[in-house]
Amino acid sequence: MPGPKEYWHVDTGGSDDSPDGGMMKRQVPQQGITNYISVPSVDEFTAKVQKLGGKVFMPKTAVPEMGYFAVCQDTENNVFALWEMSESAK
């Protein structure tokens, strides 16, 4: 994918042409893995994360023409991200 960071889409052979995941090089040696969870609305689910005691580390962020994501942490300190597909993202 073009841009300042190397990033690869991963396709596991699903029923459509959309990527099923992605990988990039670690930005720092201690960087962990972040699993992304597909949701219908990042706004709704970040509110739910906070209501249930979790934290939002990175608020809703656009990936132009692809969608939106937010990075969160649950009550057991696990980091994860929420992903909303949207071709109209700016």
Task: Give the structural domain span for 42.
Answer: 34-90
Number of domains in the chain: 1
- Percent of the chain past pLDDT 70, that is, above it, reads 96
Residue 21 is assigned to a structural domain of this protein: no
* CA proximity to 76, closest of 56, 54, 46, 57: 54
Selected residue with higher pLDDT from 31 and 73: 73
pLDDT band at 16 (very low <50, low <70, confident <90, very high): confident
Residue 29 is assigned to a structural domain of this protein: no
Residue 76 is assigned to a structural domain of this protein: yes
Q: What is the CATH number of the domain that holds 38?
A: 3.10.180.10
| pLDDT tens-digit readout, 23-44 | 888 889 998 889 999 999 999 9
Pairing of strands 79-85, 67-73: antiparallel
Selected residue with higher pLDDT from 26 and 49: 49
> pTM to 2 decimals?
0.80
Distance of CA 25 to the CA centre of its chain: 16
